[in-house]
Amino acid sequence: MLAVAVLAAGKGTRMKSSLPKVLQPLAGATLVERVLRSCGQLSPERCLLIVGHQAERVERSLAHHSGLDFVVQQPQLGTGHAVQQLLEPLAGFAGDLLVLNGDVPLLRGETLEHLLEQHRASGAAVTLLSARLADPSGYGRVFANDQGQVSGIVEHRDCSAEQRAHTLVNAGIYCFNWPKLAAVLPQLRSDNDQGELYLTDTVAMLQPAMHLEVGDAAEINGINDRIQLSQCEAVLQERLRRHWMAEGVTFIDPPSCTLSDDTRFGQDVVVEPQCHFRGSNVVGSGCRIGPGCLMENSKLGDNVQVVHSVLRDAQVGANSSVGPFAQLRPGTQLAAGCHVGNFVEIKNSTLAAGVKVNHLSYIGDADLGAGVNVGAGTITANYDGVHKHRTVVGAGSKTGANSVLVAPITLGDNVTVGAGSTLTKDVPSGALALGRARQLVREDWRGPT
């Protein structure tokens, strides 16, 4: 039987943020979400989240997670006090309790599985994860013998100068025999530099206590300030890029690009420098993206080219090209073989196959039929100051340069719109529409004398 408890009640004073620390984002997911993911594959019987500082906000952010029990710690008197709050909800529970600090987000699932296996095989009262760090400052120091048996943990601030030189640190991840832990939790005392109840003090009370040293020390990076947050972001980004390079994606300048967990690439994609992927994206095989793109919750078919552009909640069909300097806003759907060129903004619009919008246009709330050619500077005037209206343009139609289509308006198939026209009325298929002042030429003109 396994229960997992995540400590997420602290304020995170050192972050200097109005956001609770465990809600800080890391590669698009909050710290606490990442911690929960790291233990997902253990399939625990119970999963308890200890919340306190801005508890409601933390609970709300996890509303989509099923099977979480929230336990409130009020006030927050330290990590030992946090785990004391489990005495009631876990009364009678006879299994193991895995305790995870909510601010240690880079743990791999396999590492936790390994910890649990070792804990169960040795029959220890507690097994904790440790790491050897070149710079151990800030972490609790773990004192252990050569057999891995731990005598105690001393917090950085409570260490003597000699103890501070010790480089084996506590990751803040523990596997406890719950009945044994429950028996010693009430004995914790706050006679330390912070005047808090430390969970780490239970280790000296529980014997045998063992530690398991992680191979990759980056896994146990704890986040207490913005510097550590950025260091963890770098580790995570490196992991994501390496994963996708192994899957057949070329990054021309990997460190200049950032990815999200939920971005998927096909084979032979080339990502040029300074490209950023956020949220949930799909990039088809053979695409070339960048330099300089931002893609958020968007989907590209195969062999799409995107240069210096921003795509949000947009879909682009195969063999299309976007940019340079285009913006595809939410609700943009391009079918296959579309071309969207420089200084073009598209929002909430569908473009059928082969549509070209090559220069200086705004297309909003519009449906453009197959093969439509939108002339340079064409604008859909979709907003009357109160409501938005749709523009519909039939297949094969062409708009001349600098046309304004005042919505609601429907142009049939194969319509030609003369350059500089402002159209306010529907146009039937096959017609030429002109909506501009006639040109006046005065040959007898004499300028001011």
Return the structure tokens found at 437.
Answer: 């002042």
The answer to whether 281 and 328 are in contact (CB under 8 A) is no
Helices 109-122 & 31-38 angle (0-180, nearest 10): 50
Q: Which residues are catalytic?
A: 359
What is the per-residue DSSP string for 372-440? -EEPTT-EEE-B-SS-B--EEE-TT-EE-TT-EEESSEEE-TT-EE-TT-EE-S-B-TT-EE--SPPP-
Choose from ligand UD1, Mg ion, none: what does 153 bind? Cβ within 5-8 Å by kind.
ligand UD1
Strand partners, 251: 271
CA dihedral 341, 342, 347, 352 (to 10 degrees): -10
**Angle of CA points 105, 108, 113, to nearest 5°:** 125
Going by C-alpha positions, the residue among 418, 391, 424, 416 that lies closest to residue 403 is 418
Name which of 385, 394, 396 is nearest 426 in CA terms: 394
| List 198, 244, 265, 362, residue binding ligand UD1 (CB under 6 A) | 198
* Residue 317 near residue 300 (C-beta atoms within 8 A): no
Distance CA 327, CA 231 (A): 31
Piece in contact with ligand UD1 (CB under 6 A), picked from 2-10, 238-246, 295-303, 372-380: 2-10
Q: Of these partners, Mg ion, ligand UD1, none, which one is at the site of residue 104 (CB under 5 to 8 Å by kind)?
A: ligand UD1
Q: Does 73 sit near ligand UD1 (CB under 6 A)?
A: yes
Query: What single string gives the DSSP state of each residue in 207-221?
Result: SSEEEEE-SSGGGG-
Q: Which does 2 bind (CB under 5 to 8 A by kind): Mg ion, ligand UD1, none?
A: none
| Binding map of Mg ion across residues 222-241, x = CB under 5 A, - = no contact | x-x-----------------
Residue span binding Mg ion (CB under 5 A) among the ranges 67-75, 158-166, 220-228, 283-291 = 220-228
Q: How far is the CB of 357 from ligand UD1 (least distance, A)?
A: 49
Output phi, psi for 224, to 5 deg. -120, -20
Over the window 102 to 141, marking each residue x when it contacts ligand UD1 by CB under 6 A and - when it does not, the resulting string is: xxx----------------------------------xx-
Size (the chain), residues = 449
Q: Which of residues 58-117 bind Mg ion (CB under 5 A)?
A: 103
Least separation in angstroms between residue 222's CB and Mg ion is 4
Q: Which of 50, 293, 306, 392 binds ligand UD1 (CB under 6 A)?
A: 50
Residue 332 in contact with ligand UD1, rule: CB under 6 A: no
Our CB check for ligand UD1 shows the closer of 132 and 425 to be 132
Q: Going residue by residue from 155 to 174, which x/- string records binding to ligand UD1, judged by CB under 6 A?
A: x-------------xxxx--
Q: How far is the CB of 168 from ligand UD1 (least distance, A)?
A: 11
| Binding site residues, Mg ion, CB under 5 A | 103, 222, 224
| Binding site residues, ligand UD1, CB under 6 A | 7-10, 21-22, 50, 52, 73, 76-79, 81-82, 101-104, 139-140, 153, 155, 169-172, 198-200, 222, 224
